[in-house]
Structure 1
Amino acid sequence: MDISHKRETYGIRDMNNAGERPSNRPNNQYDMVRTLRRTTSYVDEDHIFVGFQDVVQTLLTELLKPEPHRRVISIYGMGGLGKTTLARNLYISPNIASSFPTRAWICVSQEYNTMDLLWNIIKSIQGCTKETLDLLEKMTERDLEIYLRDLLKEPKYHVVVDDLWHREAWESFEMSISR
């Protein structure tokens, strides 16, 4: 049985290559798939955080240790385990907020663009003022890296990268946030 003929008969489109934008594919279909693949770091603030108090305390202790070098702490596992909720509770903790004057939270997801990641980290640190947005609009990727590195000159900063799917996404901006 010819699958491509059945796809044509039933109007099924090949979505496997949706991450690439072939020239013959309508922009709206590509954009729809891209939008569906994106996620946000939604946390239900009313959700009662039960059973993770020991984990929260351990991670708080790790985050607040005086360290001379950058440290990366990964929280990973299957979807629905509460990783984002755990990270958000740490991020908004008064101890973290007072210990890290420069903080940023970004959501990466399956579809990412290095320029967008850099933009989002900078906007998370500085806010979304018109002046900041106008300045960022004119910058190249290299300019954004330099600008971000300058923002992160503080001895301590806290950057949360949520919903990271691919190592390449981390590597695409890691050097910008490290010293």
Structure 2
Amino acid sequence: MSASKLQESSEVRIAHSLHTNEEEFVARRRETVFQSLQKLKIHCSKSEMPNIALLGSGGGQRAMVGLLGSLVQLDKAGLLDCILYLSGVSGSTWCMASLYQEPDWSTKLETVKDQIIKRLSGPGVRWGDAFAKLKKYYYEKDIFSLTDVWAVMAVTEYVKEVCNYSYHNPA
């Protein structure tokens, strides 16, 4: 599958190894991390470079804003490029999803931060739009559950956005 087709796809890939595109991304990111560590006078070889990860916590909108604030402070301190992996649970994944809408978010963090803050401090999603999303899920998914209702209602309330993902049922 081409990179553009993969980017448009919302299917989940299940495998025992990283996708080729992710392997290439990690290799490029490792180079960025290595250069950043060298600038900070943290001496290591490329083969013995530490794998630095940042894990965001859960806790709804508070976790979303908390991770965003942590990333902004790391950027201001010149440490953002030392991070190889970014991961999170619950509310912090809402932040990550918002960041990842901009492919070069780490180089445009201030702009992305401002967009997220503007959205969070603006009006919420209209209930009609949230219900329309639920209806779409109901007709697209093989299994529709209370989790889907919770996801749409809670996320639209806290994140103030209706995601535009669709479900494709692989045959």
| Larger strand share, 1 or 2 | 1
- Is this a same-fold pair by TM over 0.5? no
Q: Shorter-normalised TM-score: what interval?
A: under 0.3
| Larger helix share, 1 or 2 | 2
| Higher relative contact order structure (alpha carbons within 8 Å, sequence separation ≥ 6) | 1
Determine which structure has more spread, i.e. the larger CA radius of gyration: 1
* TM-score, structure 2 normalization: 0.27
